[in-house]
Amino acid sequence: MSMRHQITAGFMPLFDSAVLVAASELGFTAREGIDLTLHRETSWANIRDRIAIGHFDLAHMLGPMPLACNLGLTPLASETIVPFSLGLGGNCVTISNAVWAGMAAHGAEADLDPARAGAALGAFIRERAVAGREPLRFAVVHPHSGHNYELRYWLAACGVDPDREIEIVIVPPPFMADALATGRIDGYCVGEPWNSAAVAAGTGHIVTVKAQIWRNSPEKVIGVRKVWADENPEALAALLRALHHSARWCQDPVNHGELANVMAQPGFLGLPPAVQMPILTGHLQLGGGAERDIDDFFLPFDKAANFPWKSHALWFYTQMVRWGHVAHTPENLAIARDCYRPDLYRSALKPLGVALPGANAKVEGALKVATAVGATGAGLVLGPDGFFDGQIFDPDEIDAYIAHQKSARAEA
Amino acid sequence: MVRSSLAVLVIDENRIRASIIEAGLREAGHQRVTVIHDVTGIARRIAEIEPDVIVIDLENPNRDMLENMFQLSRAVKRPIAMFVDRSDQASIEAAVDAGVSAYVVDGLRQERVKPILDMAVSRFNAFSRMARELEEARSELESRKVIDRAKGILMKSRGLSEEAAYTLLRKTAMNQNRKISDIAQSLVTAAGLLGPAEDE
């Protein structure tokens, strides 16, 4: 079969590149007439640079990363758009045994409840401050990452100022568990399997998960060079259809064994299939013998997981403003609003006759239970999408949301 | 020789490549060159060295950590930004192609840094070429070894002279339009499967 489209894409060896990898390995791209070449990278900075100079047409990216590029927060960048999301959830917060002991003394239990865990961590942090000890050091994978923003959101909602009361550093995912074991960091927020790795080694406890801080929240995306997207609309639409079929395949439990085998290859994730099972099943060992089944732990397809909601991008933007990464101006807001492109997703998938959300944005945190929604096609279920602290993010009320978070901090 | 007061830090896990860069910098007159292979405790080292220019290999998985540290760490007194001369797209592409990136302190003039980046790019490319040639030489040696083993098998099992064994391998390779080392490898594999023939 002759291939009509040549596409070059970059990815990081993380499990949530699965939809992109499976699209190629299971033949979904070939069926759409696409010859997809995948390049494994070693840092997000490399992905950003190679997109910027045109080595890659598109790439597996952290959700806030294309926003950071377009807002001029990175040294090298080309305008990047997001027509597809690679999934919801998948991250955990893991802490050292010593911090766990300190939290347990303040009422923490192995139940992953963000409010309870955050209150205990806050009490332990204040106890240490009173005793004149060094602030705890937490690691995330990148400043412009869902990990950084959800860790900060969780801590701030529990009364801990992440800028003043702890230190946040950057550590690449595969090094997290080791950095925790050797005491260079006290905790971290990262995707699987790097949380379960610390639990398995007996050096860490999982205290809460992304799926409970903000249920069904955005994580990795497909970032596309805008210039390439503008010049190759057919290739992009074909790719989005291939990714859609791949995501559906990845979600189906029947395929999880095969998916884990594909990802286990050295050129992709390169880790044994067994360590990939927690992210696929949502069944996690938390440390100290505790275990939990987590609803919607990681969704590569269900709950409209691939739809690039503008409200997701705008929430990331509010957090960039909140933590001083960018100034809130009408120009910056417009850039953030234009970055995620549900219109491209919708037009590419329309011929398939599948369920598509009718709106481009939603009020995040409004759905308390899984809800069938009005949409084109049939059978679309969204949510629940609640924040653990009960807050609502209405993308039409951004100024109020930003102002509220600012004043809450000032009062603290 | 140009006397330069620029302090240059080279971060590269590959010791051989790092020493090639270091030698190049010294030849170009840069006396204050520090090489780091392991990023453990790097914030303290940067505070001590106060580098004007930092050269990093792009394969380094710690690049995100380093880039963030350059911007935010308390240990870094002067902000360090990535070397980007937006008017010089070719230079950026050459650096990424070669697998190297440079970061410079705020306010340092572009023309003082460009020769350092250019030198790093050419040395990275030279290193890649050298590594490739070394790999070719290694595989050449490997195929010669396997051809010798295949010749031995033929000499023993079919009573051929060394020359006749080699001729047979070469003829088979030509007939099948394959490399002689591939034929030899097939023979060695088959002999291994068929039993203790070879090492009897």
Interface-testing mutation among B60, B64, B96, B113, with chain A (most A C-beta atoms within 10 A): B64
Minimal CA separation from B127 to chain A, in Å: 20
Which of B193, B179, B36, B65 lies closest to A168 in space, CA to CA?
A: B65
Least confident among A20-29, A35-44, A376-385, B160-169: A376-385
Over residues B72-103, the pLDDT tens digits come to: 666 677 778 888 776 678 888 899 999 999 99
Please give the CATH topology (third level) of the domain spanning B8-132.
D-Maltodextrin-Binding Protein; domain 2 (3.40.190)
Question: Hey, what's the torsion of the CAs at A149, A154, A158, A164, to 10 degrees?
Answer: -30
Interface-testing mutation among A12, A76, A142, A323, with chain B (most B C-beta atoms within 10 A): A76
Burial group, residue B110, by CB count within 10 angstroms (0-12, 13-18, 19+):
middle
> What is the per-residue pLDDT for B200?
43
Task: Name the band, by pLDDT with cuts 50, 70 and 90, for residue B111.
Answer: confident
- Read off the tokens for B40: 């453990």
Per-domain residue ranges of chain A? 5-87+219-272+299-352, 91-213, 356-407
> What is the per-residue pLDDT for B1?
45
Over residues B119-149, the pLDDT tens digits come to: 999 999 999 998 899 999 999 999 999 999 9
Per-domain residue ranges of chain B? 8-132, 136-199
Class of domain B136-199: mainly alpha
In this structure, which amino acid lies at residue A149?
A: Y
Over residues A304-337, the pLDDT tens digits come to: 999 999 999 999 999 999 999 999 999 999 999 9
Over residues A270-301, the pLDDT tens digits come to: 999 999 999 999 999 999 999 999 999 999 99
Query: Which residue pairs from A275-280 have beta carbons closer than 8 angstroms and sit at least 24 positions apart in sequence?
Result: A275/A193, A275/A196, A275/A197, A275/A200, A276/A15, A276/A192, A276/A193, A278/A192, A278/A193, A278/A196, A279/A15, A279/A90, A279/A191, A279/A192, A279/A193, A280/A253, A280/A256
pLDDT at A177 over 70: yes
Q: Which residue has the higher pLDDT, A97 or B111?
A: A97
| Mean pLDDT on B112-124 | 90
Over residues A207-217, the pLDDT tens digits come to: 999 999 999 99
B87 interaction partners in chain A (CB closer than 8 Å): none
A175 interaction partners in chain B (CB closer than 8 Å): 61-62
**CATH ID of A91-213, from 3.40.50.300, 3.40.190.10, 3.40.190.80, 3.40.50.11290:** 3.40.190.10
User: Is the torsion defined by CA of A328, A333, A335, A341 positive or negative?
Assistant: positive
Closest-CA residue of A relative to B41 is: A184
In the 3-class helix/strand/coil scheme, how is chain A assigned residue by residue?
CCCCEEEEEEECCCHHHHHHHHHHHCCHHHHCCEEEEEEECCCHHHHHHHHHCCCCCEEEEECCHHHHHHCCCCCCCCCEEEEEECCEECEEEEEEHHHHHHHHCCCCCCCCCHHHHHHHHHHHHHHHHHCCCCCEEEEECCCCCHHHHHHHHHHHHCCCCCCCCEEEEECCHHHHHHHHHCCCCCEEEEECCHHHHHHHHCCEEEEEEHHHHECCCECEEEEEEHHHHHHCHHHHHHHHHHHHHHHHHHHCHHHHHHHHHHHHCCCCCCCCHHHHHHHHHCEEEEECCEEEECCCCEECCCCCCCCCCHHHHHHHHHHHHHCCCCCCCHHHHHHHHHHECHHHHHHHHHHHCCCEECCCCCCECCCCCCEECCEECCCCEECCCCECCCCCECCCCHHHHHHHHHHHHHHC
pLDDT at B43 over 90: no
> What is the per-residue pLDDT for B4?
54
Minimal CA separation from B114 to chain A, in Å: 17
Answer whether B81 touches A (CB < 8 Å): yes
Nearest CB neighbour to B58, from listed A46, A141, A143:
A46
ipTM: 0.91
Give CA–CA dist A250/A19, Å, rounded. 7
> What is the per-residue pLDDT for A1?
52
The values of phi and psi at residue A28, to 5°, are -70, -35
| Mean pLDDT on A193-201 | 95
Note the CATH architecture for domain A5-87+219-272+299-352.
3-Layer(aba) Sandwich (3.40)
Neighbouring C-beta atoms of residue B130, cutoff 10 Å = 13
CB pairs under 8 A between A and B: 55
Closest-CA residue of A relative to B72 is: A169
Query: Identical fold at A5-87+219-272+299-352 and A91-213?
Result: yes
Percent of chain A with pLDDT over 70: 98
> What is the per-residue pLDDT for A410?
77
Task: Name the band, by pLDDT with cuts 50, 70 and 90, for residue B198.
Answer: very low
Do A44 and B64 count as a contact with CB atoms less than 8 A apart? yes
Do B61 and A46 count as a contact with CB atoms less than 8 A apart? no
Minimal CA separation from B179 to chain A, in Å: 27
| Mean pLDDT on B172-181 | 92
